[in-house]
Amino acid sequence: MWDIREAARAIGAELLRPRPPYRITGAACDSRRVRPGELFVAIVGKRHDGHDFLEEAFARGAAGALVSRDPGVGHNLVLVEDTVAALWELARWRRESLSMPTVGITGSFGKTTSKELLAAALGSRFAVYRAPESFNTEIGVPLAVLSVPDDVEIAVFELGMSGRGEIARLCELVRPWAGLITGVGEAHLGPLGSREEIAAAKWELAQALPEEGVLVLAWDHPELRARVEDCQALCLRFGHDPSADFHPRSIVASDPQGVRFVLESPAGSFKVKLKLLGRHVAVLASGVLALAWAMGVPLEAAVPALGQVSPLPHRLHLIPTWFGWLLDDCYNANPQSVRAALETLVSLRLPVRRRAVLLGDMLDLGPREGELHREVVSLMVRMGVDALYAYGPRTSRAWNAVWKGEGMASEELDPLLERIREDLRGAPALLLVKGSRGMALERAVEALRE
């Protein structure tokens, strides 16, 4: 990997209490997740100061730390004025030493799922590194860059944003040769104001690609389709639209074992079987296969590789439980992803008598948040959802305004969990748990599995 002494010299920092081994195998900013040989980055946040956790980081095997003060703990401390700025300096230095092509994935939804699928497809022919979990922020991406092994042939990064210019900055660091834009939805509607502005922010990935690179573009989204002439890279299109270069047909999304479909592509037709749920996953998989094919992986190898990807935690993960099944999709939420989750809820072939939803607030939707919450609740009425448990002020207001069926609304989670346990006891049921990241509904998932 890389030498912490060279890294300190590269950014003009002092190395305190140097001690072998000096070789760094990765980077982390959460002391609880530090692995042996990694660099711990002590970030001063609003609620916690990473310097207070150095002892834990070194107890877990950290080989060094990036710090802005010396707390008197640990060794190989790279002393800087600002650890976040220095993290970026280190990541730029590390990126200079990496010669492999990189891939950037962005979009309003499906980034992590697409990243995992793409890593599997490319992994059938190449040594692939993929950024861990959802490391797609101004902290997560440089940490991922610092964790790329030397023997990797392709690295895949997830690029998130909350405003204009953020993806462009991440691309300056990652320097992607290829890119995938999964689509445009209402996520970040609050800070950006419109789908056009969201599309413009996502398009920064396309603008960062070299002329000889490849962009795989969600063709079902007019905000993206209108920009295709502005892309200097080769552009491959994917989507439901049959005019797309890669598109799924004959989608079967009712099987609890996973989605099946037929991929239509310039290389022919291929039967695809996934372990993942959701009709929308067939479209994402089509985009992933387009990019793998463009990067030299035959579809005969890429298609079966996708079938080995297991369901991701908190992303339409079907879990057997005491009342029947729990459909855990609580990682995040916006109107588009809620609609996709509801389609999965009502279409899955399971021996249940009730289909219910625990829905938390959808955040960052701006002035239209009330209207969008009411639309989602109205959709549940039309789809025949049996019970709705509304968590948070926004969803509760929509529940009171629109919902006429069974369930409960509350700004507190515990009363809702108690009501759900009462209502679902004794009847096989399927419960969807969905909400924005800030609602932390993984708490509900863990509580309801017991």
- Provide the residue ranges of all domains of the chain, joining segments of one domain with +: 2-81, 98-306, 317-449
Nearest alpha-carbon partner for 181 in 77, 294, 291: 291
Question: CA of 237: how far to CAs of 103, 195, 221, 279, 443, in Å?
Answer: 16, 20, 11, 18, 39
pLDDT in tens, 48-88: 899 999 999 999 999 999 999 999 999 999 999 999 999 99
pLDDT of residue 193: 67
Give the confidence band of 190 by pLDDT, cuts at 50, 70, 90.
Answer: low
Query: Which class for 366: exposed (0-12), middle (13-18), buried (19 or more C-beta within 10 A)?
Result: middle
Q: What are phi and psi of 249, to 5 degrees?
A: -140, 165
Nearest alpha-carbon partner for 111 in 199, 209, 191, 181: 181
Amino acid in the structure at residue 10: A
- Measured in Å, how far apart are the chain's first and last C-alpha atoms? 42
pLDDT of residue 120: 98
Contact between 432 and 350 (Cβ < 8 Å) = no
Contact between 208 and 171 (Cβ < 8 Å) = yes
Q: Residue 136 has which token pair? A: 């797609």
How many residues are recorded in the chain?
450
Question: Would you identify the CATH topology of the domain 98-306?
Answer: UDP-N-acetylmuramoyl-L-alanine:D-glutamate ligase (3.40.1190)
Q: Angle at CA 103, nearest 5°, toward 97 and 106?
A: 130
Q: Residue 28 has which token pair? A: 């982390």
pLDDT in tens, 213-243: 999 999 999 999 999 988 899 999 999 999 9
pLDDT in tens, 269-321: 999 999 999 999 999 999 999 999 999 999 999 999 999 999 999 999 999 99
Least confident of 90-94, 123-127, 182-186: 182-186
Q: Does residue 21 have a cis peptide bond before it, meaning omega lies within 30 degrees of 0?
A: yes
Tell me what the pLDDT averaged over the chain comes to.
Answer: 95
pLDDT of residue 138: 94
Question: DSSP 3-state assignment of 104?
Answer: strand
Q: What are the beta bridge partners of residue 272?
A: 261
pLDDT in tens, 334-387: 998 999 999 999 999 999 999 999 999 999 888 889 999 999 999 999 999 999
pLDDT in tens, 383-439: 999 999 999 999 999 999 999 999 999 999 999 999 999 999 888 999 999 999 999
pLDDT of residue 188: 60
Looking at domain 317-449, its CATH superfamily turns out to be: Mur ligase, C-terminal domain (3.90.190.20)
Amino acid in the structure at residue 230: D
Q: Give Cβ neighbours of residue 262 (< 8 Å, ≥ 6 apart).
A: 248, 249, 250, 269, 270, 271, 272
pLDDT of residue 187: 63
Q: What are phi and psi of 262, to 5 degrees?
A: -110, 125
Q: What are phi and psi of 263, to 5 degrees?
A: -90, 130
Give the confidence band of 134 by pLDDT, cuts at 50, 70, 90.
Answer: confident
Helix (H) or strand (E) holding 60: none
DSSP notation for 345-408: HHH-----SEEEEEEEPPPS-GGGHHHHHHHHHHHHHHHT-SEEEEESHHHHHHHHHH--SEEE
pLDDT in tens, 146-181: 999 999 999 999 999 888 899 999 999 999 999 999
pLDDT of residue 45: 86
Contact between 106 and 161 (Cβ < 8 Å) = yes
Q: Give Cβ neighbours of residue 146 (< 8 Å, ≥ 6 apart).
A: 2, 24, 26, 27, 39, 87, 90, 91, 94
Give the integer Cα–Cα distance in Å for 199 and 221. Answer: 9
**Architecture, CATH, for domain 2-81:** 3-Layer(aba) Sandwich (3.40)
pLDDT of residue 46: 85
